[in-house]
Structure 1
Amino acid sequence: MNNHYDLPTDDWKLTCKLLPNYKILSSHEFKRLLSKTIPTDHYQIQQWLANTEMLQFSQQLAIFMCTSFQLKIEEDYWYYIDNLNMPVVTWLSEVSKDVTEKNSINWDHSKTKLNIQYQQNLIRNKLQRLEINLYNYLQRYSSNVKMNDDKMSFEQWMNIIYNALFVLMQNDLHRFNTNFEQKKILFTYDIHDAHLVKSFYDLNPIEEQVYSTQQIWRSKLRACEKVISQQKKRWSRSNQVMVKGITPGNRSITNMKQNEFDNDGNDQKNQLLYMECFPPSMRAIIQARLDNIEQRAQQIIKFIHASSQGQRSIPFL
C-alpha cells in the first residue's frame, strides 16, 4: 500500500514512472511474477517457463502486451478529451497565459484541438505498427517453438500464458490507468472552471471588479489546497499506522466539516463585502466558480481516500 498520493499529472516524465519495465527484469523474477498470477494454472505455467526459449518468448510477449495496453489507455483518454464539447478551448487559446495565471485557471495550453488530433494520430500509428510487429513475432514462434508437452498445442499454451499476462498487466498497469481515469474526471471540472471565468469576462467587468474577483477565487483555492495537503498527510499517517498492524478510525469524506473548505473568518467577511458590490449576474458566476473549486477539491480527496484504501480503478479493457 502506498504511503502517499500523487495527483494525476500531464507530465509524461512522471506518468511513465508508473509503467512496469519488463525489459530490466531478470528471467527468474519474471518467471516468479507470471507463475503466481493465476494459482490454478501455476503448475502449467511453470512447466512452460522451464524451457529457456519459451521463457524468453513469454517475456518479450509481455513487453508487446504492456505497450499495447499502455497505448490503449492513452487512446481512450484522448478520445474522451476530443469528444467533450469544448468551445471554451478557443477562448483559452486566444487569451494570454497571464490571464490564466492571474485567474488561477488550471489549464494545459497544449490541449488545443490540433494537438489533440495529433496525439490521437500518433497513438493510432504506434498501435498499428505494434500489431504488425506482434503478428510477425507470433507467426515466427508458432512454427519454430518446441513444445514440452506433445498433448497440448501451441494455441492452447498461448491461451494459458495470455490469460496470465493479462492478469499481470491489470495489476502492474493499475496505477498508470488510474492516473488517466482521474485526469479525465478532473478535466471536466477544469473545463467548467474555465467556462465560468470566460463568462465573467464576457460581462465586461471593470478593473476593480476583476481584481476583487481574482482575490476571492485565489483565497478559495488556497483554502482548498490546504485541506488537500492536510488530507494527504492524514492518510499517509493512517497508512503508516496500518503497516504496523493497527487499524485507525476511519473518517468519512462526506462527514468532513464544511468550514474545512472555507477561508478564515476575516477573509470570508471581506469576500462578502466584495460580493455586495457586484451585480447579481456577476455574483452568480463568482459563486458558481467557488462551488466548482470546492467540488474539484472534494474529488481529489476522494482519490486520496481511494488510493489509501487500495481500491481498484475501472477495468481498462
Structure 2
Amino acid sequence: MQEHSWAPRVSKTFAKQHYTCRTYDFPKHIVEQRQKTVLRQFQQTTNQLQHYTMELEQTGGLKKWKLPFDSAILSNAINECVKNAQQRLRKEFDYKKKMLSLNSSDHHFIRKFYDLKPNEEQIHLAKMIWKTTADELKTIEYIEILRKRIFLQRLPSRIDKIINQTIEPIELLLSNSTINKDQRASLISSCSKTITQYKFDLMSLNLNIMENIKRDHQQSLKDLQLKLIISNHDETSIEVIKAGQIAMRKRHHPCRLFFINCAAVTRRANSASQLRVL
C-alpha cells in the first residue's frame, strides 16, 4: 500500500457534502503487524509440513502405503488448493485495495481545492458539480442494474411480489373445475405470457425514465461547467474541480454486489428447475 493511501480521515458530514466515501484501511502499524504475523504463521506451517514429510520418509511410513510420494508435488498441490479456495477472497482484497487508493485520491483533490482558498461562490459551484456528477453516476449504476434485470428477466423482489399478488384472483378463476383441461392450459399459458410481457414493459419504462434522468444530469453538468468558466475562476481551481470529477468516476464501481447476487439467484433457479425436471 502506498504511503498516500493512509489519508487523513474525514467526517461523515464532510463526506456527504462532497459526495465522497469514508472507507478507510487499518492504521499502517496495524497492517505491518498483521503482515509480520501472517509471514510468521506461513513459515511455521511450511516448517511443520517439511517436518512431517521428513518424519514419514525416515520412519518408512511411506513404504507401507506402497505409493510413490514426492514432497514437492504435495507442497505444490497444497499451495494450489489454497490459491483456488482464496480466489474470490483475493479479488475482494484487490477490489478493496483499489477503492482505498481511489478514495484517498478523491480526498486529496478535495483538500487541494480548499488549499486554494476558494470563496463561497466557488465552493458552491464545486459542490454542485460534484453532486451532479455523483447523481449521474448513481443513475448510470441504476441503468446498468435495470439492463441486467431485463437480461435476467427478474424484477426487484418487492415489485415482483406485488405483481404476483395481483394475479392470485386470476389463478383462482383458472382453478375452476368447469374449465376443461385443454382450455385451462391455454389460458394459463396466455396469462403467463401477459404477465411476463407486463414485467418486461415495466422494466423498459423504468429504463427509459432513467435514461432521460441521466441526460438531464449530463446537461446540468454542462451548464455548471460553463458557469464555472465564465465566473472568473482561476485555472488551477477549475482543473482541481475537474480532477475531482475524474477521481469520482474512477471510484465509481457499478452493480458489483448486484451481479454477484444475480449469479447466485440464477444458479439457484437453474438448480430448482433441474430438480423439478428430475
- Please report the TM-score for the alignment, with normalisation by the length of structure 1: 0.50
Partners of 1:194 and 1:237 lie apart in 2 by 36
Partners of 1:100 and 1:286 lie apart in 2 by 16
Q: How far does residue 227 in structure 1 lie from its aligned partner after superposition?
A: 1.2
Q: Is the 8 A contact 1:220 1:262 kept in 2?
A: no
- 1:263 partner SS: helix
In the TM superposition, what are the counterparts of 1:99-248 in structure 2 within 5 Å? 99-109=14-24, 111=26, 115-136=27-48, 138-140=50-52, 142-143=54-55, 146-147=61-62, 148-150=64-66, 152-153=68-69, 156=70, 158-235=71-148, 238=151
Q: How far does residue 175 in structure 1 lie from its aligned partner after superposition?
A: 1.3
Which residue number in structure 1 is paired with residue 267 of structure 2? Answer: none
Q: Is the 8 A contact 1:100 1:106 kept in 2?
A: yes
- 2:217 partner SS: coil
Task: Kindly indicate whether residue 13 of structure 2 is the aligned counterpart of residue 98 of structure 1.
Answer: yes
Task: Label 1:106 to 1:207 Cα distance change in 2 as closer, same or farther (>3 A).
Answer: same
Q: Is the 8 A contact 2:140 2:214 kept in 1?
A: yes
Q: Is the 8 A contact 1:227 1:261 kept in 2?
A: no
Select the structure that is richer in helix: 2
Describe the superposition over 1:197-237 as per-residue Cα deviations: whole angstroms up to 9, x where unpaired. Answer: 11110111123322331121011012112212322443465
In the alignment, which of 287, 290, 302 is matched to residue 245 of structure 2? 290
Q: Is the 8 A contact 2:5 2:104 kept in 1?
A: no
In the alignment, which of 82, 86, 91 is matched to residue 4 of structure 2? 86
Q: RMSD of the TM alignment (CA)?
A: 3.9
Q: How far does residue 100 in structure 1 lie from its aligned partner after superposition?
A: 3.2
Which residue number in structure 2 is paired with residue 17 of structure 1? Answer: none
Which residue number in structure 1 is paired with residue 161 of structure 2? Answer: none
Task: Label 1:261 to 1:124 Cα distance change in 2 as closer, same or farther (>3 A).
Answer: farther
Partners of 2:97 and 2:225 lie apart in 1 by 32
Gaps of 5+ in 1: 1-80, 242-256, 311-317
The one-letter amino acid of 1:229's match is Y
Runs of 4+ displaced beyond 6 Å: none
Partners of 1:88 and 1:125 lie apart in 2 by 21
Identity %: 16
Task: Label 1:270 to 1:261 Cα distance change in 2 as closer, same or farther (>3 A).
Answer: same
Which residue number in structure 2 is paired with residue 281 of structure 1? Answer: 236
Task: Label 1:232 to 1:173 Cα distance change in 2 as closer, same or farther (>3 A).
Answer: farther
Which residue number in structure 1 is paired with residue 223 of structure 2? Answer: 269
Partners of 1:101 and 1:87 lie apart in 2 by 20
Q: How far does residue 135 in structure 1 lie from its aligned partner after superposition?
A: 2.4
Partners of 1:101 and 1:125 lie apart in 2 by 37
Q: How far does residue 303 in structure 1 lie from its aligned partner after superposition?
A: 7.3
> Would you say how many aligned residue pairs link Structure 1 and Structure 2?
200
Q: Is the 8 A contact 1:224 1:261 kept in 2?
A: no
Q: How far does residue 139 in structure 1 lie from its aligned partner after superposition?
A: 2.2
- 1:106 partner SS: coil
Task: Label 1:184 to 1:129 Cα distance change in 2 as closer, same or farther (>3 A).
Answer: closer
Partners of 2:31 and 2:222 lie apart in 1 by 43
Partners of 1:132 and 1:266 lie apart in 2 by 60
The one-letter amino acid of 1:197's match is I
- 1:105 partner SS: coil
Q: How far does residue 108 in structure 1 lie from its aligned partner after superposition?
A: 3.0
